[in-house]
Structure 1
Amino acid sequence: MLQLTAAWTLGQASSLALAQNAVPPASAPAAGFADLMPAFWKPYDKGRALDSPQRVERLMSEFFEPNAAAYRLAGLTVTPQRVRAWLPKFDGMSDAARLLHRAFAAIYETQQGHFTQALPDSQVKVSPVWLMPSLFTFDAHLEPQGPGQPLPLFFAPDGILRFHGVDADLAVLFAHEWFHCYHALRAPLISLDPKPGVHEALWVEGLATYASQQLHPEATLTQVLLDDAALAATPPAVLQRAARAMLDVWESQDPAASTPFLDMGYRGDWPPRVGYYAGLLAAQQLGQRTSLQVMAGWDRGDLSHRLRPVIESLSKG
């Protein structure tokens, strides 16, 4: 896997001083790649000496409002209150975020090549890619627009640093998100439905997790689970309990029914995003006799009867 540096720490990031001419400019972005970070850095840098209300006003008027359409596309509503709460935390990582931004395009190109080599029938360039601050809302995020529509993919340097750390290895994250794009082409009914059934949402995330593991077999379980050490340490009894709860709402298309299993903000009887782990275990079992490409083609009407017995088995230990 390609890392930003061999050992990239906050201290090293700070020591680089990150003046505009201290680091070479980022590589030219690939086709379909919209980098909003240069437009963000301008008002951010100009406003460092201002007090908080003025800084927020400048960022809103010079960056967030002019890019409101991109944020709507990402499903993110930006308000002055959200920016004000986010800004002090971002200040503490801004040097590292600038380094990540400058390295991002080259890493993006390399990992895209790795992914298309592994899955030659993929069409990752079909998805427009955006790089933008997310106010810690996401690290990487797909926002389905519906069948037949482009599937935009968003990456956020602030979210990547917040959820993965300054020594983030982006290979698994790229593989996970690009597999979602691939899966959307192969199984659009479940992948592009804004309100999938619980079992469908479980499979979409679980199969992407499994795909990232297959493409990067040297990755640890924690890395495959997107650097969530608590999730990787989930005891078997807790996984069983969560699997039983999944079976209770298996067909539900109520988004609230999926929240306990897939939402990062869930607080309850098991770790947030336990569905990623359960889905990974299910895909591992099914993958013993079926290729990744074939499993990616299981769509609505074909998926449930294949997946349910595996989750039932997991619920019984």
Structure 2
Amino acid sequence: MIRRTLLALGLSLTLSAAAPVASDLAFVDLTDDFAKTWDATQALDDAARVTAFKQAFAAKLPGFYDHRRIKVDEALYDKHLLKALKAYPENRDAIAKVSAQFASSIAPALASFEAEFGPMRGYPPVYLVNSLGEFDGGTRNLPEGVRLLFGADMLAKLHGDDSIQPFFHHELFHLLHTRTFPECDQMWCALWAEGLAVHVAKTLNPGADDAALLLTQPEPIRAAVDANRTHAVCAVLTRLDSTDPKDYRALFSSGRLDDRLPPRFGYYVGLLVAQDLGRTRDLKQLAVMDAATVRPLLERSLKAMGDC
């Protein structure tokens, strides 16, 4: 396991000329551990290899490579894990490249993020992992608490050097936001958390286009929503309290609500809400708003956008 802090790497961060501050945010790179475990288990049969792999990582990142985290049958998860292990040689070099560049890539994003929000102190470590195709970055609920993780495998596939800074800002904000806005199952919580993270990324990177803000994945979102603004807003309004996984997939993942709205359109509708509330509030003020404050403001903003 490679434990890195930005201070140890000599990457001191400065919030102002008079007040240099070194972040104590630690980064743990588990991609080398993945490679070593893969090498060490090559000779085992499939079932034994999956078991050995899960046991090896149970202590390194408890609860991550675990069927219970993603709420699927263990046999189904083991099949997915085995498939990923067999495909690993195809991705190994790309993952290693991301690992080698990760510290130098995220350092400037962390510096500019802290210049806006202050030093990131007292947070749990941030992990770089092989996500097995699950994510490029995001927070996950693990037995030891909420953790921010980056998936080196998906970073290699989805992000170029020109787009990575807004993405890092987006994910760092999620980590910061957990202190004032804990996750909840209702759709409105995801709408606010994701929309505000996009707003933060755009504000800290004024020149970022929709691709850099991930508003073109898996297809362009802005144009489709703008062409169907009332329909999109009303669809969100009627689902604010929904906990249906189908609604979540349509708004924030790979699902599709109908042929007029693209997958993940909730990110853009959430951005519109954050921009609206941000007309009279700066990023710091938006970041500390709790759920009781956000909910009525969010609903009022949506109602003003569409005649529902």
Per the TM superposition, whether the score is higher than 0.5 is yes
Partner residue of 2:272 out of 275, 281, 289: 281
Q: Please give the alpha-carbon distance, in whole angstroms, between the structure 2 residues aligned to 1:166 and 1:94.
A: 18
SS of the residue corresponding to residue 230 of structure 1 reads: coil
Residues 145 and 192 of structure 1 are in contact (CA less than 8 Å); yes or no, is this contact kept in structure 2? no
Partner residue of 1:216 out of 200, 205, 211: 205
**Structure 1: gaps of 5 or more residues:** 1-25
Q: Please give the alpha-carbon distance, in whole angstroms, between the structure 1 residues aligned to 2:122 and 2:208.
A: 25
Partner residue of 1:153 out of 131, 140, 148: 148
Instruction: Give a deviation string over 1:271-294, Cα, whole Å, max 9, x none.
Output: 221111101111112212211111
> Are residues 71 and 272 of structure 1, via their aligned partners in 2, closer, same or farther at CA, if it must alter by over 3 Å?
farther
SS of the residue corresponding to residue 243 of structure 1 reads: helix
Instruction: Give a deviation string over 1:161-201, Cα, whole Å, max 9, x none.
Output: 33x145573212211111112222233xxx333x2x22222
**Please, what TM-score do these two structures have when normalized by structure 1?**
0.75
Deviation at 1:34, TM superposition (A): 2.1
Partner residue of 2:34 out of 14, 35, 40: 40
Q: Please give the alpha-carbon distance, in whole angstroms, between the structure 1 residues aligned to 2:117 and 2:194.
A: 18
Name the residue aligned to 1:112: 110
Deviation at 1:252, TM superposition (A): 3.3
Name the residue aligned to 2:248: 258
Q: Please give the alpha-carbon distance, in whole angstroms, between the structure 1 residues aligned to 2:31 and 2:48.
A: 15
Q: Please give the alpha-carbon distance, in whole angstroms, between the structure 2 residues aligned to 1:213 and 1:134.
A: 26
Aligned residues with identical type, % of pairs: 26
Corresponding residue pairs, total = 278
Q: For residue 135 of structure 2, what is the amino acid of its counterpart? A: F
Deviation at 1:235, TM superposition (A): 4.2
SS of the residue corresponding to residue 179 of structure 2 reads: helix
Partner residue of 2:127 out of 125, 130, 153: 130
Name the residue aligned to 2:79: 81
Name the residue aligned to 2:50: 60
Q: Please give the alpha-carbon distance, in whole angstroms, between the structure 2 residues aligned to 1:160 and 1:227.
A: 16
Name the residue aligned to 2:15: none
Q: Please give the alpha-carbon distance, in whole angstroms, between the structure 1 residues aligned to 2:131 and 2:147.
A: 15
**Please, what TM-score do these two structures have when normalized by structure 2?**
0.77
Q: For residue 294 of structure 2, what is the amino acid of its counterpart? A: L
Residues 234 and 271 of structure 1 are in contact (CA less than 8 Å); yes or no, is this contact kept in structure 2? yes
Whichever structure has more strand as a proportion of its residues is: 2
Whether 2:171 is the aligned partner of 1:171: answer no
Residues 94 and 153 of structure 2 are in contact (CA less than 8 Å); yes or no, is this contact kept in structure 1? no
Name the residue aligned to 2:12: none
